[in-house]
């Protein structure tokens, strides 16, 4: 959003601010469209090692960022700075603030479970320790939140011109995609913590509505707040009512209670957050990291480090890319088992019912059967083409797709290419298309223009019978 503001104001100083918040409104509309188009499932196809690394990384970030506030000093903007300055923070700690922070952490750790349903530990720590600081420890200069702006913002009506339409649309789409990824990853973290399952499309529609309205008031675009969500769950929030209460509480503080909230010590909040950070770390996966396999362990640790030292979105995107590449390679090896090349008598082995009575002896010795018996993705195409080149000694090629479950566009193109290459070399081609969906895919790629329909069949028996008739003639 900082980038959006900078670009818009630089290109249009007079209306740049209005255009920037126009991006927020449009981003919300994009998110609503994502939800109605049911695109949410594509944002959350994330393997568990990536989720685990993401969660543990967030937990470590929370802990590192709160070390300095815990001892009464100013916080840092990123985890790397906080990590490198831990020594300085400990050497210059504020003793009173540290005691308050440790007390807050102790309450979070040792608060009786049976009391949680009456008053959550964070709320008790917040009220009691803030009161102690306000009435008894003012001379110790323990850092507090300080003055909070109050009041309700004015409505901003964006002015959109055709000249700025491209930039506004581009940045709006970028904000929508990043916000959607961030929110749905937060939802997945919440699912893991609560053992529930969210509805991705509803989340996108709800967030889109919120962002569209937020833009009208000059507010930043909202996304899933993983840390606040985790705090909410650990405090006992289990339903949508807890999120609504959170929003209403913030509204109440902004409009009427900011004079009281300003006295909350940073150290108290830091102690609470450190406990939350420890709880978010996926200790279960870490405890089994020597049993999950080298790749899963590497992927989890990579995502964790990228989350802590780069940013959340980069960590997930890199993790997803690596996971998908490795998964695709493994699936390719499995799928290649369903691709076979047969010659001679092997063509009819296991298919005795398919042998025509008038099949001339030795006719199959010059015939190559390419059979696909399962799903084949685009990654298989290159290896399939290489194997075909190794089996190029034939007069007639039979391509049997009758048992294929799925053939992607890349594989369909390659099959049509094999037909074209074989015919160009003066050899005969017979294609068994099988189900209607595969037939339509090949038809769209103009198989009919390369191969007469008399050489296209539904069953292998028909192709072998045709082969007999051709040889007899």
Nearest to 414 by CA among 453, 440, 442: 442
Length of the chain counted residue by residue: 473
What pLDDT score does 315 carry? 86
Among the residue ranges 133-142, 198-207, 254-263, 271-280, the one predicted with the least confidence is: 254-263
Sign of CA dihedral 356, 342, 383, 294: positive
Residue 203 pLDDT more than 50?
yes
Residue 163 pLDDT more than 80?
no
Confidence of residue 99 (pLDDT cuts 50, 70, 90): very high
CB 50 within 8 A of CB 296: no
What pLDDT score does 470 carry? 60
In percent, how much of the chain has pLDDT > 90? 18
Radius of gyration in angstroms for the set of CA atoms belonging to the chain, rounded to a whole number: 32
d(CA 83, CA 456): 68
> Which of 125-129, 337-341, 383-387 is most confident?
125-129
Nearest to 107 by CA among 120, 88, 92: 120
| Summary mean pLDDT of the chain | 83
**Token pair 């990590």: residue:** 83
Confidence of residue 108 (pLDDT cuts 50, 70, 90): very high
What pLDDT score does 356 carry? 58
d(CA 148, CA 130): 16
Q: What's the pTM value of the predicted model, to 2 decimals?
A: 0.69
List, for residues 256-293, the tens digit of each pLDDT value: 777 788 889 999 999 998 998 898 888 988 998 888 88
Domains, the chain: 2-328 (no CATH), 338-472 (3.30.750.24)
CB 308 within 8 A of CB 53: no
Among the residue ranges 8-12, 110-114, 121-125, the one predicted with the least confidence is: 8-12
Q: Which residues contact 81 (CB under 8 A, 6 or more apart)?
A: none
d(CA 63, CA 417): 58
d(CA 387, CA 339): 10
Confidence of residue 352 (pLDDT cuts 50, 70, 90): very low
Angle at 128 between CA 126 and CA 134, to 5 degrees: 95
**Mean pLDDT in residue range 392-400:** 84
Q: Helix axis angle, 162-194 relative to 312-336, nearest 10°?
A: 70
d(CA 249, CA 255): 10
Residue 131 pLDDT more than 60?
yes
């Amino acid at each position: 959003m900082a980038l959006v503001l900078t670009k818009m104001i630089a290109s249009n100083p007079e209306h740049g601010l209005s255009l920037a918040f126009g991006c927020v409104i449009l981003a919300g509309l994009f998110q609503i469209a994502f939800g109605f188009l049911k695109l949410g499932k594509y944002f959350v196809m994330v393997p568990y090692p990536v989720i685990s690394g993401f969660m543990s990384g967030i937990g470590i970030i929370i802990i590192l960022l709160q070390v300095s506030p815990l001892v009464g000093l100013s916080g840092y903007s990123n985890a790397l700075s906080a990590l490198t300055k831990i020594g300085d923070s400990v050497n210059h700690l504020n003793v009173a603030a540290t005691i308050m922070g440790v007390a807050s952490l102790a309450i979070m750790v040792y608060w009786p479970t049976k009391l949680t349903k009456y008053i959550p530990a964070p709320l008790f720590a917040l009220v009691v320790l803030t009161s102690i600081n306000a009435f008894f420890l003012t001379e110790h200069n323990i850092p507090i939140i300080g003055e909070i702006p109050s009041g309700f913002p004015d409505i901003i009506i964006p002015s959109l011109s055709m000249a700025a339409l491209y930039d506004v649309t581009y940045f709006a789409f970028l904000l929508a995609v990043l916000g959607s990824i961030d929110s749905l990853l937060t939802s997945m973290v919440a699912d893991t913590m609560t053992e529930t399952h969210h509805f991705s499309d509803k989340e996108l529609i709800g967030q889109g509505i919120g962002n569209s309205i937020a833009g009208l008031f000059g507010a930043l675009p909202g996304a899933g707040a993983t840390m606040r969500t985790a705090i909410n769950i650990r405090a006992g929030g289990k339903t949508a009512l807890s999120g609504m209460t959170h929003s209403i509480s913030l509204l109440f503080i902004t409009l009427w209670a900011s004079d009281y909230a300003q006295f909350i010590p940073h150290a108290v909040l830091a102690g609470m957050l450190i406990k939350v950070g420890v709880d978010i770390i996926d200790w279960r996966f870490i405890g089994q990291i020597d049993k999950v396999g080298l790749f899963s362990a590497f992927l989890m640790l990579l995502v964790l480090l990228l989350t802590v030292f780069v940013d959340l979105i980069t960590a997930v995107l890199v993790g997803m890319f690596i996971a998908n590449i490795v998964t695709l390679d493994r699936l390719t090896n499995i799928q290649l088992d369903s691709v076979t090349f047969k010659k001679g008598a092997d063509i009819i082995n296991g298919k005795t019912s398919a042998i025509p009575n008038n099949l001339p002896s030795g006719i199959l010795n010059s015939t190559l059967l390419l059979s696909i018996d399962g799903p084949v993705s685009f990654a298989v195409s290159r290896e399939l083409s290489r194997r075909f080149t190794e089996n190029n000694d034939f007069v007639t090629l039979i391509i049997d797709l009758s048992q294929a479950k799925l053939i992607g566009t890349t594989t369909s193109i390659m099959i049509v290419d094999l037909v074209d290459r074989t015919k160009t070399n003066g050899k005969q081609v017979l294609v068994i298309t099988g189900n209607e969906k595969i037939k339509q895919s090949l038809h769209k790629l103009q198989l009919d223009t390369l191969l007469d329909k008399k050489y296209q069949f539904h069953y292998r028996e028909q192709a072998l019978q045709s082969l007999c008739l051709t040889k007899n003639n």
